[in-house]
């Protein structure tokens, strides 16, 4: 009798755990429906879930204060082990991550909390309006990530859409009054962040790098936009045929 009781307890706990997981999935689906602007399919839900987990992992990453010096030393040693070409690429990637880190810090008290949300607002304001796909392509982000970001901005009352007079099937994004106010406040903070970010280097030094970075960016932008769906072998052959133009 006692063992039957234990079995029932274990079974009840097991079922309770299953129901809690199911409830979590239902709650997440409701959140997905609120934020999604596309088709509410299982595939889109799984992509949305992946983005949510990725964002949580980024937010949860913290450096241990007691290991700061060791971490910095290890990072420097790691970079120095790389060949020159890889080291150049690694520096670009790390600088972009540092900028994202600082901008998030500066935007803490605003209803936007990422560089992407800020750049979406900034771009729409600069051009007055923008199509969703055009905005996503401009900033080279995955479609699902871009649509989720737009959805959050609309849900927070920073954006709204109107019918495109040139294409009845499309809509244009515009800033709300609240979006304008948030962007103005964010512009000041981002300017402070960028001034601080480049304070360690003389302007004459980093300005000399711009032509090189621009050349690299233009080369890969053309490939990314016009040959996005091509497999690796075709991309490799394409870059091999184009590189003589730039060397």
The CA-to-CA distance between both ends of the chain, in Å, stands at 83
Please write the tens of the pLDDT for every residue from 61-100.
444 454 555 666 677 788 889 999 999 999 999 999 999 9
Residues 91 and 110 in one domain: yes
The answer to the question of residue 81 being in a domain is yes
Residues 185 and 229 in one domain: no
Residues 112 and 157 in one domain: yes
Is the pLDDT assigned to residue 192 strictly greater than 50?
A: yes
Residues 190 and 92 in one domain: yes
Q: Find out whether 153 and 112 touch, Cβ atoms under 8 Å.
A: yes
- The residue-averaged pLDDT of 89-113 equals 92
Q: What are phi and psi of 35, to 5 degrees?
A: -90, -25
**Distance separating alpha carbons of residues 29 and 38, to the nearest angstrom:** 14
Residues 217 and 152 in one domain: no
**Distance separating alpha carbons of residues 194 and 41, to the nearest angstrom:** 40
**Distance separating alpha carbons of residues 182 and 176, to the nearest angstrom:** 10
How far is CA 99 from each of CA 65, 67, 197, rounded to the nearest angstrom? 20, 22, 7
**Alpha-carbon torsion (50, 139, 147, 100), positive or negative:** positive
The predicted structure's pLDDT at residue 21 = 72
Residues 86 and 164 in one domain: yes
The answer to the question of residue 138 being in a domain is yes
The DSSP code for 128 is: S
Closest CA to 138 of 148, 124, 158, 125: 124
Residues 157 and 241 in one domain: no
Q: Which domain holds residue 234?
A: 201-247
Residues 220 and 142 in one domain: no
Average pLDDT value for the chain: 82
Residues 162 and 231 in one domain: no
The predicted structure's pLDDT at residue 39 = 64
The answer to the question of residue 13 being in a domain is no
The predicted structure's pLDDT at residue 58 = 43
Please write the tens of the pLDDT for every residue from 36-67.
656 667 777 776 676 666 555 444 444 445 45
The predicted structure's pLDDT at residue 61 = 43
| Length of the chain, in residues | 247
Looking at the structure of the chain, the number of domains it has is 2
Q: What is the CATH number of the domain that holds 77?
A: 1.10.10.10
């Amino acid at each position: 009798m006692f063992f039957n009781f234990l079995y029932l307890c274990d079974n009840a706990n097991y079922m309770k755990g299953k129901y809690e997981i199911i409830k979590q999935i239902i709650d997440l689906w409701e959140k997905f429906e609120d934020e999604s602007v596309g088709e509410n399919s299982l595939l889109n839900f799984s992509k949305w879930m992946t983005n949510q987990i990725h964002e949580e992992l980024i937010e949860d990453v913290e450096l241990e204060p007691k290991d700061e010096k060791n971490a910095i030393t290890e990072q420097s040693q790691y970079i120095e082990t790389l060949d020159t070409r890889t080291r150049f690429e690694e520096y670009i990637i790390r600088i972009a991550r540092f900028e994202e880190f600082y901008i998030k810090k500066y935007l803490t008290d605003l209803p936007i909390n990422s560089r992407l949300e800020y750049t979406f607002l900034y771009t729409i304001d600069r051009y007055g309006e923008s199509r969703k796909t055009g905005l996503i392509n401009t900033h080279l982000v995955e479609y699902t990530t871009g649509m989720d970001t737009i959805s959050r901005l609309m849900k927070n009352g920073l954006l709204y859409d109107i019918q495109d007079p040139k294409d009845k099937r499309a809509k244009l994004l515009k800033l709300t009054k609240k979006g304008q106010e948030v962007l103005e406040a964010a512009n000041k903070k981002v300017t402070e962040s960028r001034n601080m970010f480049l304070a360690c280097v003389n302007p004459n030094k980093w300005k000399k790098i711009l032509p090189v970075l621009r050349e690299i960016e233009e080369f890969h932008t053309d490939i990314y936009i016009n040959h996005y769906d091509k497999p690796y072998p075709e991309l490799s052959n394409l870059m091999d045929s184009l590189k003589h133009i730039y060397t």
